[in-house]
Structure 1
Amino acid sequence: MIQNIRKNEFESLIKSSKPVLADFYAEWCSPCRMLSPVIEEIGDKYKAYFETVKVNVDENPELTERYGVSGIPALLLFKDGNEILRMSGVQTEERIISEISEKTGESFV
């Protein structure tokens, strides 16, 4: 199960040199519910390469505003405190991993 994270934990976590994939979502969001199993799979499968966390936009409006998330689901990838990738909408595992691989230079084979 992917950790649901709050503001103070999030801010310290994204400063890590290990990349962090954040799924900005809401319980009431149908596309978010469609993406959730994909994110769970990615979190389990690739945990050696990057952290995966969930950010509930209703419970964390400061984070939602700070990172300019205007539509959900939104996937943001951070490394060393910097956002290096943003994806919106429902995505396939293959597309997400391809984009992460391109941005981080990691090969997930």
Structure 2
Amino acid sequence: MKKIHKILISLVLLLSVGIGTYLLIGNKVTEAKTPYKEITQKQLQEKISNNEKTIVYYYKKDCQYCKQASPLIKNSVKAFKADIYQIEVDKYDGIWEERNMVGTPTIVYYKGGYEISRLEGVKTQEMYNRWFSAMKKVN
């Protein structure tokens, strides 16, 4: 009986340590820093007006396609060491018309005050990599 009691106590302790570790590490993983920098519509317009080279990821929090595309885009951003800004489109009235958007996710590269290239919808990792590679060459 004492042996079963010791085994149960050991299992409870082991399970407690496992759950505690998961909660600590799990939260750190989900809080991992994103490579995207938040930017407002006004800040973006200033960058475009100042002829700054800027890549912007337009997204919606509740967009299933954005949730599929975001990790792929993030991989490309890291691989090509790209600076990228993000705008949550639901925060800004009129942004769809102002930026000629038909859906999310949308990535746009601005240079010299103009839109140079745009990628709309969910793409493959290879397509994102090709796009970021091409935008790097445009610089």
TM-score band by shorter chain is 0.7 to 0.9
Contact 1:35–1:91 (Cα < 8 Å) also in 2: yes
Equivalent of residue 64 in structure 2, options 30, 38, 43: 30
Deviation of residue 103 (structure 1)?
Answer: 5.2
Task: Give runs of aligned pairs for residues 5-84 of structure 1, distance below 5 A.
Answer: 5-14=39-48, 15-16=51-52, 18=53, 20-47=54-81, 50-84=82-116
Please list, as runs of the form range in 1=range in 2, the aligned pairs for 1:68-107 lying within 5 A after superposition: 68-102=100-134, 105=137
Higher RCO, 1 vs 2 (CA within 8 Å, ≥6 residues apart): 1
Task: Look up the SS of the partner of 2:56 in the other structure.
Answer: strand
TM-score relative to the length of structure 2:
0.63
Look at both structures and tell me which one has the larger radius of gyration over its CA atoms.
Answer: 2
Q: SS in structure 1 opposite 2:123?
A: coil
Please give the TM-score of this superposition, normalised by the length of structure 1: 0.77
Provide the C-alpha distance between the structure 1 equivalents of 2:80 and 2:95, rounded to a whole number of angstroms: 24
Bigger drift between 85-94 and 96-105 goes to 96-105
3-state secondary structure, aligned to 2:57: strand
- 1:43–1:60 CA distance, 2 compared to 1 (3 A): farther
Relative to its length, the structure with more helix (as a share) is 2
Given that 2:55 and 2:85 are in contact with CA atoms closer than 8 Å, whether structure 1 keeps it comes out as yes
The separation in 2 between residues aligned to 1:93 and 1:59, in whole angstroms, is: 28
**SS class of match (2:91):** coil
Shift of 1:64: 2.7
Aligned residues: 103
Question: Is this contact kept in 2: 1:34–1:90, CA < 8 A?
Answer: yes
Secondary structure of the structure 2 residue equivalent to 1:61: coil
In structure 2, do the counterparts of structure 1 residues 42 and 12 end up closer, same or farther at CA, with 3 Å as the change threshold?
Answer: farther
Query: How far does the alpha carbon of each residue in 1:37-90 deviate from its partner, in whole angstroms, 9 at most, with x for none?
Result: 12222233323xx42111111012333321111211111111122111112110
